[in-house]
Amino acid sequence: MGKDREFFDGGKLHSLINDIDEEELNELAELFKMFGDSTRIKILYDLFGGEKNVSEICRDLEMSQSAISHQLKILRAAKLIRSKRDGKSMIYSLADDHVKTIIAMGKDHIEE
């Protein structure tokens, strides 16, 4: 966490706060809402290991396909995951490493 504090020292945090407009604040709030559901967090964690189809995610999380598919749609709309077609199946993966970083920083925060 010390490395993160260094990033925000020297007026950088002040600059970040002052340079954000209302639209960006709303987009940021919407992004953080995505992390407010434990099923979505479980899905993201499950995808840390790589690409998976819906059946694999359902098996890993011991949840129904309808419940998982609903959350996958929300995560995809938020650009936290991406999907690609493989025959009749959809394959899901994390959109990028930012997703892992956000979750890791959140985890660090609650463990302080």
Lowest pLDDT segment from 11-15, 54-58, 62-66, 85-89: 11-15
- The reported pLDDT for the residue numbered 95 is 97
pTM of the prediction? 0.81
Give the architecture-level CATH label for domain 2-111.
Orthogonal Bundle (1.10)
pLDDT of residue 14: 64
Q: What is the pLDDT of residues 52-70, one digit of tens each?
A: 999 999 999 999 999 999 9
Residue 13 — pLDDT band, cuts 50, 70, 90?
A: low
Contact 61, 46 (CB under 8 A): yes
56, 91 Cβ separation under 8 angstroms: no
CA end-to-end span of the chain, whole Å? Answer: 9
Domain boundaries, the chain: 2-111
